Structure 1
Amino acid sequence: MGAPREERVITPTDEGVDAATTGEEALTSTDADGHPDADAAIVLGEDPPSARVPLDRRRIVLAALDHIEESGLPTLTMRRLGTRLGVEAMSLYRYVPGKEELLDAVVDVLLYDMHADPEVFASPTAGWQDFLQRLAHGVRRVALAHPKSFPLVASRPPEAPWLRPPLRSLDWVETFLAGLCAEGFSDEAAVAGYRAFTGFLLGHLLLEVSTLGADIGPLDVLDDGEEDNARLREFPTVARLRRGLGQDHAAAEFEVALEELLNRIAAIRVEL
């Protein structure tokens, strides 16, 4: 009689090894690309992906915002967003009808961040200059926090065609105009101030976020440091001053330009 057969206790790790050695593939709740498989999850006795963390519109929009900042706007698709959230892409459409609506919702989140900024006031409390300085810096903080998403503020259609980014929502324009009118601006001066203020902010901040990796189309042509130095030999002055041209003085330049803008608005107030 031979030696008694040794019983083997199969652990989860062993099962994975056995599957590999026998050529059998272990069933998983995601496919090879990482996309969730709700049916497989149920077969395995797991909660389907959508049941693990309940979906809602805000969670989807914030995930889209995170994706844009990590991977860039051109890579955002509903399928990739679904993968990020652990659900099938079709599950997203219950909360966001499509990608266009999703991008509009991302802009809404950016504008809401300004409302949530404790340094930005809803009305002047220490003069209109302080009011506008706080508002300008609040917009810049949003741009710096979400540089790759910020260009959407300029590119998405506003609530009305006569609204100008980045103050492109009716509530922010109401805040701006009512604040200036309360400080003695005429209607004409308040409107002119709004146009000057938004033009300054948009131009400055789009250029600034482009240096932080934002895709802003034709403006996105700043030197990335990889240009062939041989070509610069044809432009000796540019070559000599290149180091200075590449230095980051965005914060100081913003302050100087903002002061000049406020002086310009002060002149508009008197003239109109």
Structure 2
Amino acid sequence: MTPHERELTTTDADGHPDADAAIVLGEDPPSARVPLDRRRIVDAALEHIEESGLATLTMRRLGARLDVEAMSLYRYVPGKEDLLDAIVEILIGDMHEDPEVLAAPECGWQDFLQRLAHGVRRVALAHPKSFPLVASRPPEAPWLRPPLRSLDWVETFLSGLCSDGFSDEAAVAGYRAFTSFLLGHLLLEVSSLGADIGPLDVLEDGDDEDPRLRDHPTVRRLRRGLGEDHAAAEFEEALEELLNRIAVIRVEL
């Protein structure tokens, strides 16, 4: 059968939608049948990353997930790089909808930062395989540090501290300490949940003996404890120490 003789269908052999064939057959193209918007596309990309990993995300696969052709996506996201930036924007922006996160201190700056830190952690735990994008995407400006990568959240952080007695210098120093703590702790935590964070390695806690441990008897003896998950408690303890450090910064600067 020649290409001209085959029966037209609105999907190809792999099940991907064919908008041109739909139009020829007098049907609405998939992009018309399924209303698209930028948020729906980004949400679908997030779901794909969490299910299959960032490395497998392509515009073609994303289009298939939404039952549209990839070209339909470019009206809302000009390309994959813009899509990844949009994912970071939504990950951090969604904290505005977290009822536990405050826009300004109400019960002191410590409570304000506690709530903000836990809000970021909830984002990381909800999207562990997507969260590393917060660290790897180019920032809007070189002085924006992950994971508070939006100007809105940096403004919230700095104005919150300044309104509660911090000098400008102390607020900036607090911002640097706070972001360094959150990023380091949360990247390690999401790596244990399957996230690809590049060069960082996580010890496996399986029963198979690692031949590399034969010459490291202390590590071998303590490997069970090294592999235990104490992330929640460690986060709380480290956050408390961070707040104590910021309290000293507040007085000194």
Could you tell me the TM-score, scaled by structure 1's length?
A: 0.86
Identity within the alignment, %: 84
The one-letter code sitting in structure 1 at the alignment partner of 2:49 is I
Q: CA deviation at 1:32?
A: 2.1
The one-letter code sitting in structure 2 at the alignment partner of 1:214 is A
* Residue 169 of structure 2 corresponds to residue 197 of structure 1: no
* Residue 127 of structure 2 corresponds to residue 142 of structure 1: no
Name the larger-Rg structure: 1
Q: CA 1:235–1:25 in structure 2 vs 1: closer, same or farther (change >3 Å)?
A: farther
* Residue 39 of structure 2 corresponds to residue 86 of structure 1: no
* Residue 183 of structure 2 corresponds to residue 187 of structure 1: no
Counterpart pick for 1:61 among 28, 42, 45: 42
Q: CA deviation at 1:27?
A: 5.5
Q: CA deviation at 1:149?
A: 0.7
* Residue 162 of structure 2 corresponds to residue 172 of structure 1: no
Paired residue for 1:95? Answer: 76
Q: Structure 2 CA distance, aligned partners of 1:253 and 1:26?
A: 62
Secondary structure, in 3 states, of the residue corresponding to 1:265? helix
Q: Structure 2 CA distance, aligned partners of 1:71 and 1:205?
A: 20
Paired residue for 1:77? Answer: 58
* Residue 30 of structure 2 corresponds to residue 52 of structure 1: no
Counterpart pick for 2:139 among 142, 158, 182: 158
Secondary structure, in 3 states, of the residue corresponding to 2:250? helix
Q: Structure 2 CA distance, aligned partners of 1:168 and 1:48?
A: 38
The one-letter code sitting in structure 2 at the alignment partner of 1:145 is A
Alignment of 1:25-40 (within 5 A): 28-40=9-21
5+ residue gaps, structure 2, are none
Q: Structure 2 CA distance, aligned partners of 1:223 and 1:44?
A: 56
Q: Structure 2 CA distance, aligned partners of 1:146 and 1:96?
A: 21
Q: CA deviation at 1:46?
A: 5.0
Q: Number of matched residues?
A: 248
The one-letter code sitting in structure 1 at the alignment partner of 2:218 is T
The alignment's C-alpha RMSD in Å is 1.8
Paired residue for 1:118? Answer: 99
Q: Structure 2 CA distance, aligned partners of 1:187 and 1:155?
A: 28
Alignment of 1:210-225 (within 5 A): 210-219=191-200, 221-225=201-205
Q: CA deviation at 1:47?
A: 3.8
Counterpart pick for 2:213 among 217, 223, 232: 232
Q: Structure 2 CA distance, aligned partners of 1:188 and 1:57?
A: 38
Q: Structure 2 CA distance, aligned partners of 1:229 and 1:106?
A: 37
Stretches (4+) displaced over 6 A: none
Paired residue for 1:8? Answer: none
The more displaced of 115-124 and 49-58 is: 49-58
Q: Structure 1 CA distance, aligned partners of 2:6 and 2:55?
A: 35
- Does the 8 A contact of 2:145 with 2:179 survive in 1? yes
Q: Structure 2 CA distance, aligned partners of 1:175 and 1:115?
A: 11
Paired residue for 1:11? Answer: none
Could you tell me the TM-score, scaled by structure 2's length?
A: 0.92
5+ residue gaps, structure 1, are 1-23
Q: Structure 1 CA distance, aligned partners of 2:181 and 2:170?
A: 16
Secondary structure, in 3 states, of the residue corresponding to 1:267? helix
Q: Structure 2 CA distance, aligned partners of 1:237 and 1:121?
A: 45
The more displaced of 230-239 and 260-269 is: 230-239
- Does the 8 A contact of 2:46 with 2:130 survive in 1? yes
Q: Structure 2 CA distance, aligned partners of 1:256 and 1:30?
A: 55
